Amino acid sequence: MRQAASDTAPAPVRRPKDRKARIALAGAELFCERGYHGVSVDEIAAAVGISGPAVYRHFPNKYAILVHATREVVGALLAATGQPTASRADGLLDELLRALAEVAVSRRRVAGLYQWEGRYLTSEHRQEFAASMATLVGRVAAPLRELRPELTAEQADLLVNAALSAFGSVTTYRAAATGADTEHLLTRVARTLLRTDAAAVPLRRRPAPEDTPATGPVRPVSRRELLLIEAMRLFHRHGYHAVAVEDIGRAAGMQASSVYRYFPGKADLLAAAYYRATDRLTGATTAAIAEARDPADALHRVVRAYVDFAFGQSDLVAVYLAENNNLPDRDRHQLRGAQRLHVEEWVGLVRAVRPDLPAADARVLVHAALNVVTDVGRLGRFDRTEGYDTWTARLALAVLHA
């Protein structure tokens, strides 16, 4: 007897209730790994195990995935700090820092989205992100100011942002950095930063020079140099993919066809800037070590050299840190090797000063210090006045001695 069709038909496949969250998570991981513009909707779908059209049942486009993923990252931080149980300020602060460290480490593959809001989100979503971050900063700053009543609101906020930057540094590790040990170390770093003397923090901020040419009133004689400077300014302001060769030529006062006399394409401009940044940073680090009296002095000097580099060439540094996914493969691998060597130079100095510190812990501290310099520098518009650069260097050194 033939079996009834209803007995042989496959059971309908039910869509997982958390599929939207899975899509957003896969998108966030791919965005952080390869850059927003380097990822397609089909690739996000493949990572989840579904078809491209299935993604559109949950999101109208790739940008909507980015917005949702960014909200998820900030939402996880707010959820972790939303219902503390401690009543005393010191206990509350410790509880908040431990919660933030746990979220940072557990979501390290997607936490890098916090640094992207200025490049890929619209003004509306940047404001939303900023409001959420302000809420998070306020939660940590409140018990901090209770414990340190001498701090102004702005000083407390800057210290909290430095601590958040240390947590965010886990996204820069190439090697695995998970588990309780990393959480404990980052919590210790955050406590150290929140105890740092803030007397030198300036209380005034200059507006961000979003549309001011980086070259100032005096422009370089070399057209190649001018193209590099204007390219870095535009890449920093708008992101690599939003800038065309025509835009760079126009900013430099020349036709697009003239740009190709100096660089075969936009990617070559980007690579040239990376090699320049690497060479300058290597030279500054080497000179700082050569002039040092001992390892402690050398560590102090290389930190100061990095701060001077970051504050003196903020556009170049920002692009150097943000756009490596857009480099040609050969250049990207070569430059990442140079970046690792720079980190290991710092690790060697930290361990020379602190011989009992394991290499893995030293590496975590170095990445945190480097991240603090760039994030805190960015908050202060890389303004050297009133000692802001000196204070930023002090924060980085505090991290390395945490």
Least confident of 44-48, 313-317, 348-352: 313-317
Q: Which residue has the higher pLDDT, 177 or 322?
A: 322
Calculate ∠ Cα 192-177-331, nearest 5°: 105
Report the distance separating Cα 321 and Cα 114, nearest Å.
14
pLDDT attached to residue 383 = 87
Highest mean pLDDT, choosing among 169-183, 193-207, 242-256? 242-256
Helix axes 62-81, 123-147, angle to 10 degrees: 10
As a whole number of angstroms, the distance between CA 262 and CA 52 comes to 41
HSE, side-chain direction, 13 A CA sphere, residue 389: 16
Q: How confident is the model at residue 5 (pLDDT cuts 50, 70, 90)?
A: very low
The whole model's pTM is what?
A: 0.86
316: which 2 tokens? 């170049």
pLDDT of residue 318: 80
Q: Which two tokens stand for residue 134?
A: 């302000």
Helix boundaries (H) for 252-294: 256-259, 266-290
**Which range (118-122, 158-162, 307-311, 355-359) has the least confidence?**
118-122
Alpha helices in 123-265 (DSSP H): 123-147, 153-168, 180-194, 223-238, 245-251, 256-259
C-alpha 110/C-alpha 70 separation (Å) is: 9
pLDDT score recorded for residue 50: 93
Distance, CA of 201 to CA of 203 (rounded, Å): 6
Among 168, 167, 264, 159, smallest CA distance to 201 is for 159
Read off the pLDDT of each residue in 179-193 and give the average, rounded to a whole number. Answer: 92
Tell me the pLDDT of the chain averaged across its residues: 87
pLDDT in tens, 61-92: 999 999 999 999 999 999 999 998 998 999 99
Q: Give the per-residue pLDDT at 398.
A: 97
Confidence (pLDDT) at 218: 52
The pLDDT-based confidence of 117 (bands split at 50, 70, 90) is low
- Choose the weakest-confidence range: 201-205, 233-237, 263-267, 382-386: 201-205
Confidence of residue 217 (pLDDT cuts 50, 70, 90): very low
In angstroms, the CA 285 to CA 366 distance is: 14
Task: Tell me: pLDDT of 13 over 60.
Answer: no
Q: Indicate the length of the chain as a whole number.
A: 402
